[in-house]
Structure 1
Amino acid sequence: MVVCVALRVGFGTTGTSYLVTVAPYMLVSAGTPVAVLIGTHRHRPPHRAGWFLLAAAQVVYAVADGMTVRDDWLGDFLEPTPADLVYFASYLLLCAAVVVFIRRRTPGWDLPGGIDALVVAISAGLLVWIYVLQPLTSDSALPLNAKLTQSAYPVLDLMVLILAIRLVMGTGNRGPVLWLILSSLTLMFAVDTAYAVEGIADGSSVDEAYLDAMWMISLGLLGMAALHPGIRRFDKRSDTALPDASPGRLGVLAIAVLMAPGVQFIQWLRGTPVSVPLISAACAVMFLLVLARMYGLVAAQRRAAVTDGLTGLHTRRHFTQALAVECRRAARAGHGVGLLIIDVDHFKKVNDGYGHPAGDQVLREVARRLAAGSRAGGVIARYGGEEFVVLAPHTGPGELYALAERLREEMAGLPVDVGGELLSVTVSIGAAVAVDPDPEALLHDADEALYAAKAAGRNRAILSAAR
């Protein structure tokens, strides 16, 4: 890339023929998808769809570059050309690649991350429109079709950059691959904006060596990202289940939201006419987006407070509240309430013999089987350590015991895969059911039944006498 940039800049200062001058640029353009495919083949990331889409985007981009070179060489063309349509297709593929990376790295962050990126995008788009595109498109003698075509590139780059910002504002690996991709897309946005500014201002096509050099560097950075061994871990799923509200994230959003009134104030100080409808609309949209983001943060924190981070089941606190509510409802209606307390047998041996990650895997699998085997309308929670509880409303003794036996058999019937090794996992279950129940008494009865199941040899379910 460095050699080709030097050759392109050097040829631009001499009387070298056009095809020779542009050859170094085309070498980088055509070499970028090759670099992406080589890096993908060499480093073999676990999930390759994003990298294949990135390679496809660069192939289409190189084809468009070739069409542009042909048009420039033949001369006498008016934008938009067929090459522009091919460029636009490459942007769609590039966006698809970044979206795949986003969804792999931070699943479940689509809405909150998208809102954050959209707030930043509206702010940046407002700046680009007021200070770049609007003045140029209103003063230039360039035909309207050409104006729209050249203006489309920074807009499309901004769309890609929004996705890149979304990628950065998520969690996940933040090594060189991420920063190379972000640098590439940021530089592409800058050079396309410079190209649009020069083209619209001059009213003619632009052929500057420094623009080609910047495009080449942008493409080269993308190829370097794919060749870096960090792509093996780049789209590894983040362990952070919920978007955070870090000071950095809130600072970026605050700056973005304040940009619109700031621009309005600057225009007023300069004595420049202010587009009140545009700025008012931008402020209103960003205000609504921030409200939606705050609502999402509150809802996420509420879910986090009642959700166990390891198993995804409810927490003990949520279960205690649900049990009290259900007992009051049962006292009024006169129906039975069933409760199961489930303990994983010899769990300490799993931790001691296979390590805590293996123990975590066992707990997650137990939780999954409990959720799959329990009745609809019940409440399942991790009560503490290796202990789980299942609240079963409208349940009699026979139904509750049948449920307990079914869950016990599902646990014992299939071993748990822990790092390629199969572990036999069993549970002991204490069951209690009562009409007009008291929460503390129901818990006590189920707990006593659990101790009886353990004392009787484990891997069994015992039903406490009905109250």
Structure 2
Amino acid sequence: MRRDRRAGLAWLGVLTICVAMRVWSGIVEAPYLATIAPYMVVSAGVPIVVLIGTLWHRPPHRAGWFLLFAAQVLYAIADGMTVYDSWLGGYLEPTPADLTYFLYYLLLCAAVLVFIRRRAPGWDIPSGVDALVVAISAGLLSWIYVLEPLTADSGLPLNAKLTQAAYPVLDLMVFILAIRLVMGTGTRGAVLYLLLGSMSLMFVVDTAYAVEGIADGSPASESYLDAMWMISLGMLGSAALHPGIRRFDQRSDTALPDASPGRLGMLTVAVLMAPGVQFIQWLFDDPVSVPLISAACAVMFLLVLARMSGLVAAQRRAAVTDSLTGLHTRRHFTQALAVECRRSARTGHGVGLLVIDVDHFKQVNDGYGHPAGDQVLREVARRLTVGSRAGGVVARYGGEEFVVLAPHTGPDELLALAERLRTEVSGLPVDVGGDLLAVTVSIGAAAESRPEPDALMRTADEALYAAKAAGRNRAVLSPSTPLTRRS
């Protein structure tokens, strides 16, 4: 920890000194090479720091960090080419430096995509929709205030227009990926926020550079822009030096809160951006891009509507799904039992019910800990699901107790199902952190025609108590005697 702290402080010290020197050299109007030297120290130092941090901390998956290192090498080379061209004076666009910058953007996007896929395997559609809303808003601003003025400048040749317009588009692409990264699942912490801050600041500074060039008619070269670029690069180096990169891109099965205040605030700002821009254009008597803004508003409205539908569906799933086992909840089972009993009252078909209890579960928690107990419950739930009939309802009733609702089932069929589930659970031991535990269940079964829900539940409970009293690891059909077969 001390070594990590010293390395982070050393890099922060180098960055602070270089930024101060760059700002001071701009104030005193030092010679060009002396002015740009502090910036080049940071630019060339970042890939070295990223490589050192990656080899030092040795994260389990290093592909993203090596891509980031390669991207920053290209960035430093392109910066060197730009300095050389500026020193000689006069160049045509696109230059070799521009082409190198474009390759840098591709590698940077590839690195961020690797991080996203490692942190959230599969398709995280809600986070993708959120990022798309922000992307449309940011893209609208970029088009109105950067890209459209650039393409409308008749004094620029076509190649210069395309080159200058490419940077805002590429910056926007990186910014969108950064938003997607932070909105997705995965561990939070300093590394994530340093990467987000670096890419967001780079987007802001590049946009300011382009806007200033449009306003002045010539490329901007103020020291404050260089200082912000240096800070952006410095944050990238700090992220690689932070020990959190060991856990940064670990796979996560836990989703972020879908309606957190920060996320809702960001989406609110993004959605209000289009009408806000329209109002500002009207206020300053600028031509209002009605088709563009209307289309942006319509698309964002549809995305927000889809997002709300997803939130409602997720809340419904959460209300009827047990978070530990993935089975239905007691609430869902109670409703399903009531519905099935009403159907049975009309048609007369049989309704079967199994109440299942994990034998000696308290000993598992006491002897191996609650995480081991949770693993046992998850595995029992999985085996019950595998062994159940299609069309039935498997639910966690509470604690270590499960229930299985089997419609259109008579006593003989229900008893056979109970034995199959009992055998399925006890067939193989459960692995809990390297220890193999033999797990068995006791099952109470009840099958009736036109039953009352509460009465059927009581009957199955009585059968479960009989199974426990008879020695556990058995199925008892009420009101028959306990089965004698044991596994």
Where on the TM-score scale, by shorter chain, does this alignment land: which range? 0.7 to 0.9
Q: Which moved more, 1:178-187 or 1:455-464?
A: 455-464
Cross-structure match for 1:432:
446
RMSD: 3.3
Q: Are 1:103 and 1:110, in contact at CA under 8 Å, matched by a contact in 2?
A: no
- State the shift of 1:189 in Å: 0.6
Go from structure 1 to structure 2 and tell me whether the alpha carbon gap of 1:55 and 1:406 turns closer, same or farther (over 3 Å shift): farther
Aligned partners of 1:447, 1:296: CA distance in 2, in Å?
Answer: 38
User: In structure 2, what is the Cα distance between the partners aligned to 1:375 and 1:187?
Assistant: 56
* CA deviation map 1:391-421 (0-9, x unaligned): 2334444443333333323322322232333
Question: What amino acid does structure 2 have at the position aligned with 1:354?
Answer: Y
CA contact (8 A) 1:243 1:297 kept: no
> Which of these residues, 381, 398, 403, is aligned with residue 367 of structure 1?
381
1:219 to 1:239, Cα distance in 2 relative to 1, 3 A: same
1:410 corresponds to 2:428: no
Deviations 1:71-100 (A, max 9, x none): 667877533345545533433443343344
Number of the residue aligned with 2:203: 189
Contact persistence 2:168–2:207 (CA under 8 A) = yes
How far, CA to CA, are the matches of 1:275 and 1:14 in structure 2? 44
User: 2 CA distance for matches of 1:88 and 1:405?
Assistant: 65
Secondary structure in 2 aligned to 1:339?
Answer: strand
- Structure-to-structure mapping, 1:221-300, within 5 angstroms: 221-236=235-250, 240-241=254-255, 243-300=257-314
Residue 325 (structure 1) shift:
2.4
Identify if the C-alpha distance between structure 1 residues 324 and 130 changes in structure 2 by more than 3 Å, giving closer, same or farther.
same
Distance in 1 between residues matched to 2:357 and 2:452, nearest whole Å? 22
Q: Compute the displacement of 1:385 (Å).
A: 0.7
**Which stretch has the larger CA shift, 241-250 or 361-370?**
241-250
* Count of residues in correspondence between the two structures: 464
Q: Which residue, out of 399, 407, 415, partners 1:401? A: 415
1:131 paired residue number: 145
**Scaled by the length of structure 2, what TM-score is found?**
0.83
> What's the CA shift for 1:182?
1.6
Counterpart in the other structure of 1:218: 232
Distance 2:334 2:55 in 1: 53
* Separation (CA, whole Å) in 2 of partners of 1:114 and 1:317: 32
Inter-CA distance 302–79: structure 2 relative to 1 (3 Å threshold): same
1:328-347 superposed matches below 5 A: 328-347=342-361
Paired amino acid for 2:201: L
Task: Note the C-alpha offset of 1:186.
Answer: 1.4
Matched AA of 1:276: V
Secondary structure in structure 2 of the residue aligned to 1:425: coil
| Equivalent in 82, 86, 109 of residue 95 of structure 1 | 109
Distance 2:53 2:387 in 1: 45
Q: Which amino acid aligns with 1:135?
A: P
Question: Which of 128, 144, 157 does residue 114 from structure 1 map onto?
Answer: 128
| Larger CA deviation: 219-228 vs 205-214 | 205-214
Query: How far has the Cα of 1:164 moved from its partner?
Result: 2.2
Superposed displacement of residue 298, structure 1: 1.1
The equivalences for 1:26-175 within 5 A come to: 28-62=42-76, 64-65=78-79, 78-81=92-95, 83-105=97-119, 110-139=124-153, 141-170=155-184, 173-175=187-189
Correspondence for 2:396 among 359, 378, 382: 382
Deviation at 1:383, TM superposition (A): 0.6
% same residue? 81
**Alpha-carbon displacement from aligned partner over 1:179-227 (angstroms, at most 9, x marks no partner):** 2112111121122213323445566666666544433332221121011
- In structure 2, what is the equivalent of residue 447 of structure 1? 461
Q: Hey, what's the Cα distance between the residues in 1 that align with 2:330 and 2:350? A: 22
Moved more, 97-106 or 188-197: 97-106
Q: C-alpha deviations, 1:239-273, integer Å up to 9, x for none?
A: 75464323333233222222222222222221222
| Corresponding letter in the other structure for 1:220 | G
Sort the Cα spacing of 1:414 and 1:88 in 2 relative to 1 into closer, same or farther, 3 A: farther
TM-score (norm 1): 0.86
- Equivalent residue for 2:367, pick from 334, 339, 353: 353
CA drift of 1:60 comes to 4.5
Quote the offset at 1:458 in angstroms.
1.3
The worse-fitting range, judged by mean Cα deviation, of 127-136 and 112-121 is 127-136
Q: Which amino acid aligns with 2:425?
A: M
Contact 1:147/1:200 (8 A) holds in 2? no
Counterparts of 2:134 and 2:244, CA distance in 1: 28
Distance in 2, matches of 1:75 and 1:327, equals 87
- Indicate how the Cα distance of structure 1 residues 432 and 209 shifts in structure 2: closer, same or farther if over 3 A, else same: same
Q: Distance between the aligned counterparts of 2:427 and 2:77, measured in 1?
A: 58
Structure 2: segments with no counterpart, 5+ residues: 1-13, 481-487
Distance 2:465 2:49 in 1: 63
